[in-house]
Amino acid sequence: MTHNTGPLLGVRVVEMGQLIAGPFSAKTLADLGATVIKIEPPKSGDPLRQWRMLHEGTSVWWEAQSRNKQSVAIDLRQAEGQQLARQLIAGADILIENFRPGTLESWGMSYEELSLNNRGLIMLRISGYGQTGPYRDLPGFGAIGEAMGGLRHLTGNPGEVPVRVGLSIGDTLAALHGTIGVLSALFARENNGGIGQVIDMALYEAVFNCTESLLPEYSAFGAIRGPAGSALPGITPSNAYPCQDGYVLIAGNGDSIYQRLMKAIGREDLALDPALTNNKGRSEHAERIDQAISDWTQHRSLEKVLNILAEAAVPAGKIYTVKDISEDPHYQAREMIQTVTTAQGLTLKVPGIIPKLSKTPGSIRHRAPQLGEHTDAVLKELGLEETLIHTLREKGIIQ
């Protein structure tokens, strides 16, 4: 177990989320030193425990998502379970939930009710469409948020079925935006007499916030950007180019970078062409420039291309698989590949800690918990007697 030196040491979080968005936000806070108590339903636990590849009945994804957390198994559908949750929240700085809007209210746990016993409570609420608006009651997952937020329309190749990126990027974007909100609310609480507040985070809004010039271009020109494969429309050259043994990504879209790139591939004519000295001109001739680069890369190995472009100070890189990531010396030097041992004794590589703080760094202090592993310890901290804990377990309210 690693000593906690994180900047959020002493901050207490209750996580009532499941799957990805809420738990990812809580994981980020836990990595940075917060104490995170995760409430899970008895017997089944968070569904993420059963997602994708399992080892001895538990997803290895779970081990990365739930590190540094404590698991308390409480049945929130029962009144006594709801009361236990209220007691935990009364002593928390932050509550994270990603249920459908209205769920907590139906359990008597609205922010107004919870803050009566905890005026400093900060509540992060992540949902598909937010707590207000005509769509608030619709079920929403990350993939739907990606579609509504404008991202899915941009993915893939023109004229083909829009594709997803292969990750739950909508959930993760919402989690990170929500975490920014939590940290902002903690700062505001210090300057507002210790009063907390609610952060209302919608999945689609987090995605929409990352769509760059999409809306301004439509507003000004009526332009509707569409999918463009591996290129970045209007930014030239920035694309994937074929080599003898794979593809190389080249970002030569800065004016001086473009000059160096063209000289490196032996196309001084394009480097000196007055029509191509700025991005506007290059974007008008994107096909011509991309063809010139492809003509050069396709006759060379990926390694050769990368070496030449590195010498010319042109941003370029290969497309990494997770095997490449796992074995890459830069990832290792930056401590982005860390090792944990699960409760079942499996040694796993997991992503390291970000952001990297110089004086109060985050850390992986303990492995992901088994279901209900910390129920007794946490409830005893609340002052519950052993006999009462036993009774609650017999009634199926806790595990």
Cα–Cα dist 344/336, whole Å:
23
10: left (phi over 0), alpha (psi -120 to 50) or beta: left
8 A C-beta contact, residue 59 and residue 46: no
Q: Write out the two tokens for 317.
A: 């890189």
Tokens 């139906």 found at: 106
Q: SS3 breakdown of the chain: % helix, strand, coil, rounded to 5?
A: 40, 15, 45
Q: Write out the two tokens for 79.
A: 């009144």
CA 160 to chain centre: 27
Per annotation, catalytic residue among 75, 171, 200, 290: 171
171 in catalytic set: yes
Q: Return the exposure string of 180-211: e unless at least 16 CB atoms fall within 10 Å of the residue's CB, then b.
A: ebbbebbeebeeeeeebbbbbbbbbbbbbeee
8 A C-beta contact, residue 32 and residue 362: yes
CA 305 to chain centre: 32
- Catalytic amino acids? 171
